[in-house]
Copies of this chain bind each other. A is one copy, B any other.
Amino acid sequence: MALQNFIDQCLPAIESELQQVVKTAREPHYQGLHEMTTYHMGWEGEGAGPKARGKRVRPLLVLLSTASAGGEWVNALPAAAAVELVHNFSLIHDDIEDNSPLRRGRPTVWKIWGLAQAINAGDTMFTLAHLAVMGLKKTTSPIIALQATHLLQQTCLHLTQGQYLDIAYEEKTDLAIEDYWPMVAGKTGALLAACTELGALVADVDNETRNFYRNFGRDLGLAFQALDDYLGIWGNTDLTGKSVASDLVEGKKTLPVLYGLEKNGAFAKRWRQGPVTQGEVPEIAKQLEAEGGRAFTQDEAERLTSSALQSLEDADPQGDAGQALAELANQLLKRDV
């Protein structure tokens, strides 16, 4: 309830901030480049609309963190826009790197404009993200703006390092569980940690509280990913919107799969023989469960969920925003409360 109130207030402000940043690059000469950006953001072109925009979870996390840490969420809008632009820059490049033809139900940027322009459009969005965060100069102080800029850049480095591992792992067959966390920490944890930390930074809290916010975001990201990996094999289709066990067919190196490879039993033997077909899925999922992969993944997801919620409690989020932040976390972690 508190969350919905915030969403109703914040989402239009987020879209407006994002559009203002993207508009700075709009000049007649570069109209075509601007079109790629506004298409990817879900504002223009075929299929534009809320569905094409995604849920804007990251900017919401920023604003709710600021408000629950005692700041004014409007002051955090430049940081909120920045994290969403970083997220979308990485999606444009990921789609090229993964050869993905579709994103949120629409053709990807590279599918429409080609490889060269898509790489460049991603670079433009990356730059816009960095320009966006500079807006904090006006809403906070130069010192906070500089700290936020630094934090965002370190996050981007971590993000590209995670992406490096993700690509490198595609060809590896001898992976173990310890290879999982650095990849997920970069690909998912880093940006979510930045969201909650940036929010706390704008509220100008003490270092201890800022750490609690950061850890909350990071573990939220890790828990979310572990849960997503669990549901990708043993989930309910209605709940996830993906066909059950599609992760096995796609050959994804998820947490349960790495568990199975480390066990080096019947599952690992079958996995190393090559692509899994849809027909084999129930049996292979059962085998992985028998080897302990299901329980292990569930335990890890629960451990990280507890850790995230503990950090949130330690951060002592205040008021309606604090309640909304807890609601959002529980929603992402698919917990009924």
Given contacts A153-B131, A157-B131, contact A164 B97 (CB under 8 A): no
Flag whether A72 is at the interface (Cβ < 8 A).
Answer: no
- Is the beta-carbon distance between A130 and B143 smaller than 8 angstroms? no
Known: A130-B130, A134-B150, A157-B131. A97 touches B119 (CB 8 A): yes
Rounded to whole Å, the gap between the CB of A104 and the closest CB of chain B is 21
A54, CB-defined interface residue at 8 Å: no
Residues of B contacting A164 with CB < 8 Å?
A: 30, 32-33, 117, 120-121, 124
Q: Is A253 positioned at the interface, with any CB of B under 8 Å from its CB?
A: no
Q: Is the interface of A mostly helix, strand, loop or mixed?
A: helix
Partner of A168, one of B24, B32, B131, B150: B32
Contact between chains at B142 and A157 (CB < 8 Å): no
Q: How many copies does the complex hold?
A: 2
Residue among A123, A143, A156 facing the most chain B CB atoms (10 A cut-off): A123
A175 at the binding interface (Cβ < 8 Å): no
Give CA–CA (A285, B127) in the complex, Å.
40
Minimum Cβ distance to chain B for residue A178 (Å): 10
- Please report the C-alpha to C-alpha distance between residue A150 and residue B157 in the assembled complex, in whole angstroms: 19
Task: Known A142-B142, A149-B134; judge A120-B163 contact (CB<8 A).
Answer: yes
Which A145-185 residues sit within 8 Å CB-CB of chain B? 145-146, 149-150, 153-154, 156-157, 160-161, 163-165, 167-168, 182
Q: A93-B119, A119-B96 are in contact. Are A182 and B29 (CB under 8 A)?
A: yes
- Across the two chains, which residue of chain B brings its CB closest to A93? B119
Query: Are B157 and A146 within 8 A (Cβ)?
Result: no
Size of A's binding interface in residues, CB under 8 A: 45
Contact residue among B117, B127, B154 (Cβ-Cβ distance under 8 Å from A157): B127
CB of A54, distance to nearest CB on chain B (Å): 20
A33 to B164, CA, bound (A): 7
Question: Which residues of the other chain, B, contact A98 by a CB distance below 8 angstroms?
Answer: 116
CB distance from A168 to the nearest CB of B (A): 6
List B contacts of A97 (CB < 8 A): 115-116, 119-120
The answer to the question of A126 belonging to the interface, with a C-beta cut-off of 8 Å to chain B, is: yes
Verify if A137 is at the interface (C-beta below 8 Å from B): yes
Q: Chain B contacts of A137 at CB under 8 A?
A: 146
A128 contacts the other chain (CB 8 A): yes
- Having A126-B126, A127-B156, A130-B149, one finds 5 other A-B pairs with CB under 8 Å, namely A97-B119, A120-B163, A127-B157, A131-B157, A134-B153
Residues of A within 8 A of B (CB): 24-25, 27, 29-30, 32-33, 93, 96-98, 115-117, 119-124, 126-128, 130-131, 134, 137, 142-143, 145-146, 149-150, 153-154, 156-157, 160-161, 163-165, 167-168, 182
Closest 3 CB pairs of A and B: A97-B116, A33-B164, A124-B160
